[in-house]
Amino acid sequence: MELIYVLIALFAGSIGSIGLAALMLLLPDKQLNRYSGWLMYLAGGTLLGAAFLGMIPKALSLTGSSNVFLFILIGIVLFFLLEKIILWRSCQHEDCDRARNAAVPIILIGDGVHNAIDGIVIAASFLNSVELGVFVTISVMMHEIPQELGDFGILLQSGLSRTKALLLNMLSGATAIIAGVLAYFMLESMQALIPWALAFSASSFIYIALADLIPEMHRKTKLSESIVQLAFVIAGIALIYGFMSHH
């Protein structure tokens, strides 16, 4: 029964996010920018909320070991390194804007790796509780839709047709399903790994929020937009907090 939830969540988080991003491309530019911005701001809050209010407390209560924090720290350094390697391979010169200079295969491979990690995060959280799983899946979708929108932009600009861009993006999203199903079976037979998988998941969420989403938000400096950003981030955290304190 639980595997069904995980499969639905994995499809929603990967192929579903990509499909919704593709649908949003039909919107006029102005609305597209606004809505994908809001989703990104909200994701900043839900990712941090899910990590600090959901995953880390669960991992701690399962192990009772403060090594959970060491593990999170190692995870953050690994994600830094992983992103660096992707940048090194895509940028030949200094001051490289990773969104503009990344070639098609780099986008797809980098995305594939990231989506695989999202898949593991979803599986690990469902094995802990269905409620945590649902909120983690929502957090994944809210950061994936704007991310995939950006990827579509790059793929289309580099000359791919709409159909090909959609298919390739879906293919790189499918890694989430494969990795998630593998993680589900591995973690189910090795329950002792679940708290560590949660800690690893938390480090991935913290890294995405603080190293990817927040710098992106700081590119907009207008006061009104900053207030909107803060409101969405707090709303995202409040959403997870309100939910976690009821379960």
Residues numbered 71-130 forming contacts with Zn ion, rule: CB under 5 A:
118
Nearest residue to 157 via CA among 112, 111, 109, 104: 104
**Is 148 among the residues that bind Zn ion (CB under 5 A)?**
no
User: Do 206 and 76 form a contact (C-beta atoms < 8 A)?
Assistant: yes
Nearest residue to 198 via CA among 53, 13, 79, 56: 56
Shortest Å distance, C-beta 127 to Zn ion = 19
Shortest Å distance, C-beta 121 to Zn ion = 8
Measured distance CA(90)–CA(158) in Å, rounded: 14
Shortest Å distance, C-beta 140 to Zn ion = 5
Q: State which residue, 144 or 151, has the beta carbon closest to Zn ion.
A: 144
Q: State which residue, 84 or 247, has the beta carbon closest to Zn ion.
A: 84
For the chain, the residue count is 247
Taking CB positions, which residue lies at the least distance from Zn ion? 118
Q: 């990231």: which residue's tokens?
A: 114
Q: State which residue, 58 or 143, has the beta carbon closest to Zn ion.
A: 143
Number of CB atoms found within 10 A of residue 246's CB: 7
Measured distance CA(105)–CA(86) in Å, rounded: 11
Nearest residue to 2 via CA among 134, 99, 174: 134
- Radius of gyration of the chain measured on its C-alpha atoms: 18
Interface region with Zn ion, contact rule CB under 5 A, candidates 24-32, 128-136, 140-148, 175-183: 140-148
Q: State which residue, 118 or 151, has the beta carbon closest to Zn ion.
A: 118
- 159 phi and psi, to 5 degrees? 100, 0
Shortest Å distance, C-beta 174 to Zn ion = 14
Shortest Å distance, C-beta 118 to Zn ion = 4
CA distances from 167 to 72, 103, 106, 238 (A): 34, 17, 16, 36
Shortest Å distance, C-beta 143 to Zn ion = 5
Q: Collapse the DSSP code of 179 into the 3-class scheme (helix H, G, I; strand E, B; otherwise coil) and give the result.
A: helix
Shortest Å distance, C-beta 144 to Zn ion = 5
Q: State which residue, 128 or 137, has the beta carbon closest to Zn ion.
A: 137
Interface region with Zn ion, contact rule CB under 5 A, candidates 66-74, 136-144, 169-177, 211-219: 136-144
Interface positions with Zn ion (CB under 5 A): 118, 144
